[in-house]
Structure 1
Amino acid sequence: MTASPAASASVPTAPGGLPLIGHAHLLARTPLPFITSLRDHGSVVRIRLGPTPAYVVTDPVLTRTVLVTEAAHFAKGGKIFDVLRGVFGDGLATVADGETHLRNRRLMQPMFNRAHIATRGNAMIDQVGAMVGAWEDDQLRDVFADMNDVTLAAFLVALFGMDLPTDLQREFTVLMPVIMKETIRQTILPPWVTRLPLPANRAHRRHIARLRVLIDQAVDHHSGRSAGTSLAAPDPATAPDPDPAPADAAGCPHKAAAGDVQAGLFETLSAAGDQFTRRQLQDEAITLMNAAIETTATALAWTLYELTRHPEIEQRLRAELAAVCTGRSLRQEDLDRLPYARQVLQEAVRKYGPAWMVTRTATRDVDLGGHRIPRGADVVWSPYLLQNDPARFPEPSAFDPDRWPPDRVPTTRDSLFAFGDGRRKCIGENFAWTEMQIILATVLQTWPRLRLVSRPPRPQTAITVKPDKLAIAFGTS
């Protein structure tokens, strides 16, 4: 891949840049039209973020070169990851390439094997069912906020076990959306602004510190339960009644099985013992929670919106679910028998990203597709751009689950880069598909009718491509 300057051409520069700010105004005002327009200017296109150049890869073959075949020349890095590292610490998604990343990934891989995830499926189904079933009939719901809450609650059950104290669950649910909004702010602002002693910056640091305390409490609770110890019981005369855990609810179909999986996925990581410090355990838990919430919630929100636009797809989904479950509640073993649900979710992930801009850093002067990339430069790739390319997805704005036949698993060779590729590919991909199928199926089983009550949402770029406003009423008739 490395070439001499004479062997490679300079990279074309995107039009529309302004003095001092470069293309930042286009990324701020029309980010998605701008990023997708770059494919018209070449397979690698130079943009400027202020005075700093960045190189956007618009071709899927070259993107795979960056992520897989020549990954050693393109390290995970750039402004976005610098900000995220300040929030997550050195979790798996943000730690630098090298031995530490490889070691941690090997230690964490057992958490995300399909068979291991399956042992947590029924607990997640119970949690999701309890939350979705508590919605009021025909009540207007902020779907993106709801999906954030449900995905977080399901992930906490899978990660820390079914007996996580209710007060911890509630504080996680309140704190995580706040931290995500603050993190988005940090990625947009210049680095020097985020270092100033401003009230917003101080609040962000306090929230991160509190999140680490909550994770410590969850880990300590898990450790105490695993060792057979019991926590001090509250005085029943003064303590409020806790909410019942989903698996303890009367008539829960999975109650008997739930007792065998109390510990959660995190026990696998904790079992690594002295290979992880307490700080590293915190970093990994924070990284997993943030990665699991925003992207999954975004994909689910867009999926529900598309179902309100396509009643024929909704009815096909409901027919598949009815045929598999035959009048009973969803079970973990049903998921592999719901291929159309997976197709619908894959199309939502394809159409809406959910990530729209990801960065790498060139570790040396390299030649990429005949273009010279200097050492230290930011190299940008965009799942949204690649997955909305009409050359690979005819009529990309159309929502068509039949793009994904059930007998073929999509890969990056299909230009589906939502989970990345190569050695830094998202470790939680299997978990994400399981969680999304559980939530989608549970919503449809619980609520026979979906009705859009807001204007059609507009895509809004943050870390993901999320709906700016989406209200749906869920009804029983």
Structure 2
Amino acid sequence: MTASTAVPAPAPAAPGGLPLIGHAHRLARDPLPFITSLRRHGSVVRIRIGPTPAYVVTDPALTRRVLVTDAAHFAKGGKIIDALRVFFGDGLATVADGDTHLRNRRLMQPMFNKAHIATRGTAMIERVRAMVGAWSEGEHRDVYADMNDITLAAFLTALFGTDLPEHLQTEFTALMPAIMKGTIRQTVLPSWINNLPLPANRAHAERVAQLRALIDQAIDHHQNAQPSPAATATTADPAGCPHAAQAQQAGLFATLLTAEDPLTRQQLQDEAITLLTGAIETTGTTLAWTLYEITRHPDVEQRLRAELAAVCGERPLDYEDLDRLPYARQVLQEAVRKYGPAWMVTRTATRDITLGSHHIPQGADVVWSPYLHQHDPAHFPDPDTFNPDRWTPERATATRGSFLAFGDGRRKCIGENFAWSELQIILATILQLWPAFRLTSRPPRPQAVVTVKPDVMTMAYYQR
């Protein structure tokens, strides 16, 4: 809705659509150049995915209207969300707007405040150090796979506690990559193909069932080992107090298991799947691109290592050090800006509405793209250049309105605080344990699926 009384105009159509398939060939062949090219056609641009129209919002101010000001008229939905809902169920990322979403978000919010995350910091750092320290010097390693494995292990430690049985951690690690590939496949294929009894569809359904069974085992283990709510709530006990050890073991999931208005077992599964997937794909992708950019910019690496040495000296990282590593945060934020991590997100118009002087019909898919906004030269000059100094305190304020990697409004990513902590822990640990690393593959090309991931990336790590 707008204050103007002018009759809204139809949104301009993107050029290059083909009969029957619309712009699907562009989205499949060159999605990132295509989505960023739409900016020059208007603030809202109509594309077709097959015969179905969708409205891409290219102006970040209008996207904030979709997410914040007029959020009641743009419901969580659309092709991508519908496909993810098959996997996530009614987790926080996919559940429809309404009382259930508000209730679950309020219930889960305490899990992700900074003080609560801090109680898991030491355990996460120890887990990450053990994994990164086990790499063999000079070995050519798949960076994307490594970063996903580490982020999953760190998040399992934070989510389910330090005493999660080793066999469950191993099974989670083995299962999640195949599940992510199957989920990505289902987001890009038509729904009628996903509903056919094809071998790939059956295999994906079986893996999701296995994942839910694993989560059940983790929940059962968690409940059987659960300390009292009073002990779990203790976050500032002196060293050596058994309550502090219990709180460290319990994990973030204790918040849900000890709630006065508990979730059902199905809801617990849905939320665990949502959290695990969000923790792996987006965080792992960001770390992979960050390491790549470090290999391309020796000055950035030098500043990172100097900052880390000034804060930690020769000792291992402590969780309390994270706030004293502002340049590391800038480097990570620039990687998030440049590479996404999500490149296309959808909403559904719940009524006829005017957006940017253009008419959006009820039921239409409305598309917004963090990648598009974060490559807008009006807000990020020379957007393809990796420049962490964009995020110095004096410069960041001017660009914050176009940085939408975590969304905005009532559906903003609940795990943002956790993501920054996990990203900083893993990056700092790699820098501490490996004084040198280099790219051993050709330069990676961005591949837009759910996130913007590298198509290939291997590195070798050295002690000098």
Task: Give the TM bin, normalised by the shorter chain.
Answer: over 0.9
- 1:274-328 per-position Cα deviation (integer Å, ceiling 9, x unaligned): 5310110000000000011100000000000000000110010000000100110
- Residue in structure 1 matched with residue 339 of structure 2 by the alignment: 352
- Residue in structure 2 matched with residue 219 of structure 1 by the alignment: 219
Residue 470 to residue 410, structure 1, CA distance change in 2 (3 Å): farther
Q: Is the 8 A contact 1:122 1:258 kept in 2?
A: no
Q: Is the 8 A contact 1:340 1:406 kept in 2?
A: no
- Residue in structure 1 matched with residue 141 of structure 2 by the alignment: 141
Residue 137 to residue 147, structure 1, CA distance change in 2 (3 Å): same
Q: Tell me the secondary structure at the aligned position of residue 22 of structure 1.
A: coil
Letter in 2 for 1:459: P
Structure 1 residue 55 corresponds to structure 2 residue 42: no
- 1:348-385 per-position Cα deviation (integer Å, ceiling 9, x unaligned): 00000110000000000000010000000000000000
Structure 1 residue 378 corresponds to structure 2 residue 353: no
Q: Is the 8 A contact 2:345 2:368 kept in 1?
A: yes
Structure 1 residue 446 corresponds to structure 2 residue 405: no
Residue 87 to residue 410, structure 1, CA distance change in 2 (3 Å): farther
- 1:244-303 per-position Cα deviation (integer Å, ceiling 9, x unaligned): xxxxxxxxxxx9975641000000111115531011000000000001110000000000
Q: Tell me the secondary structure at the aligned position of residue 226 of structure 1.
A: coil
Q: Is the 8 A contact 2:47 2:55 kept in 1?
A: yes
Matches within 5 A, 1:143-158: 143-158=143-158
Q: Tell me the secondary structure at the aligned position of residue 7 of structure 1.
A: coil
Q: Tell me the secondary structure at the aligned position of residue 225 of structure 2.
A: helix
- 1:213-233 per-position Cα deviation (integer Å, ceiling 9, x unaligned): 1001001111111159xxxxx
Matches within 5 A, 1:358-373: 358-373=345-360
Matches within 5 A, 1:368-447: 368-406=355-393, 413-447=400-434
Q: Is the 8 A contact 1:410 1:416 kept in 2?
A: no
Residue 259 to residue 106, structure 1, CA distance change in 2 (3 Å): closer
Q: Tell me the secondary structure at the aligned position of residue 262 of structure 1.
A: helix
Residue 411 to residue 203, structure 1, CA distance change in 2 (3 Å): farther
- Residue in structure 1 matched with residue 182 of structure 2 by the alignment: 182
- Residue in structure 2 matched with residue 464 of structure 1 by the alignment: 451
Q: Is the 8 A contact 1:3 1:367 kept in 2?
A: no
- 1:100-137 per-position Cα deviation (integer Å, ceiling 9, x unaligned): 10010000000000110011111100000000000001
Q: Tell me the secondary structure at the aligned position of residue 405 of structure 2.
A: coil
Residue 406 to residue 138, structure 1, CA distance change in 2 (3 Å): farther
Return the alpha-carbon distance in structure 1 between the equivalents of residues 215 and 396 of structure 2: 35
- Residue in structure 1 matched with residue 29 of structure 2 by the alignment: 29
Q: Is the 8 A contact 2:370 2:404 kept in 1?
A: yes
Structure 1 residue 336 corresponds to structure 2 residue 323: yes
Q: Is the 8 A contact 2:345 2:367 kept in 1?
A: yes
Please report the RMSD computed on the Cα atoms of aligned residues, expressed in angstroms.
1.7
Q: Is the 8 A contact 1:47 1:56 kept in 2?
A: yes
Return the alpha-carbon distance in structure 1 between the equivalents of residues 332 and 94 of structure 2: 26
How far is the alpha carbon of 1:7 from its aligned partner? 1.4
Q: Tell me the secondary structure at the aligned position of residue 200 of structure 2.
A: helix
- Residue in structure 1 matched with residue 169 of structure 2 by the alignment: 169
- Residue in structure 2 matched with residue 231 of structure 1 by the alignment: none
Q: Tell me the secondary structure at the aligned position of residue 54 of structure 2.
A: strand
- Residue in structure 2 matched with residue 75 of structure 1 by the alignment: 75
Letter in 2 for 1:437: Q
- Residue in structure 2 matched with residue 243 of structure 1 by the alignment: none
- Residue in structure 2 matched with residue 93 of structure 1 by the alignment: 93
How far is the alpha carbon of 1:414 from its aligned partner? 3.1
Structure 1 residue 320 corresponds to structure 2 residue 307: yes
Residue 474 to residue 431, structure 1, CA distance change in 2 (3 Å): same
Identity among equivalent pairs (%): 74
Letter in 2 for 1:386: H
Q: Is the 8 A contact 2:227 2:250 kept in 1?
A: no
Q: Tell me the secondary structure at the aligned position of residue 9 of structure 2.
A: coil
- Residue in structure 1 matched with residue 239 of structure 2 by the alignment: none
Structure 1 residue 276 corresponds to structure 2 residue 263: yes
Q: Is the 8 A contact 1:343 1:406 kept in 2?
A: no
How far is the alpha carbon of 1:177 from its aligned partner? 0.8
Return the alpha-carbon distance in structure 1 between the equivalents of residues 4 and 396 of structure 2: 39
How far is the alpha carbon of 1:407 from its aligned partner? 6.3
Letter in 2 for 1:438: I
Letter in 2 for 1:211: L
Residue 476 to residue 170, structure 1, CA distance change in 2 (3 Å): same
Return the alpha-carbon distance in structure 1 between the equivalents of residues 152 and 121 of structure 2: 15
Matches within 5 A, 1:9-28: 9-28=9-28
Return the alpha-carbon distance in structure 1 between the equivalents of residues 393 and 74 of structure 2: 34
Return the alpha-carbon distance in structure 2 between the equivalents of residues 411 and 164 of structure 1: 44
Q: Is the 8 A contact 2:334 2:388 kept in 1?
A: yes
- Residue in structure 2 matched with residue 106 of structure 1 by the alignment: 106
Q: Is the 8 A contact 1:45 1:57 kept in 2?
A: yes
Q: Could you list the runs of 5+ residues in structure 2 that have no partner in the other structure?
A: 229-241
How far is the alpha carbon of 1:3 from its aligned partner? 8.6
- 1:391-432 per-position Cα deviation (integer Å, ceiling 9, x unaligned): 111110110000001467669843000000000000000000
Q: Is the 8 A contact 2:379 2:399 kept in 1?
A: no
Return the alpha-carbon distance in structure 1 between the equivalents of residues 261 and 406 of structure 2: 30
Return the alpha-carbon distance in structure 2 between the equivalents of residues 65 and 144 of structure 1: 35
- Residue in structure 1 matched with residue 236 of structure 2 by the alignment: none
Return the alpha-carbon distance in structure 2 between the equivalents of residues 346 and 410 of structure 1: 13
User: TM-score when scaled to structure 1?
Assistant: 0.92
Q: Is the 8 A contact 2:109 2:414 kept in 1?
A: yes
- 1:166-209 per-position Cα deviation (integer Å, ceiling 9, x unaligned): 00000000111111000010011110110111111111111111
Structure 1 residues 411-420 or 422-431, which shifts more? 411-420
Letter in 2 for 1:137: E
Return the alpha-carbon distance in structure 2 between the equivalents of residues 206 and 276 of structure 1: 24
- Residue in structure 2 matched with residue 194 of structure 1 by the alignment: 194
Return the alpha-carbon distance in structure 2 between the equivalents of residues 367 and 260 of structure 1: 50
Letter in 2 for 1:447: W
Letter in 1 for 2:20: L
- 1:135-177 per-position Cα deviation (integer Å, ceiling 9, x unaligned): 0011111000000000000000000000000000000001111
Return the alpha-carbon distance in structure 2 between the equivalents of residues 130 and 422 of structure 1: 38
Q: Is the 8 A contact 1:339 1:406 kept in 2?
A: no
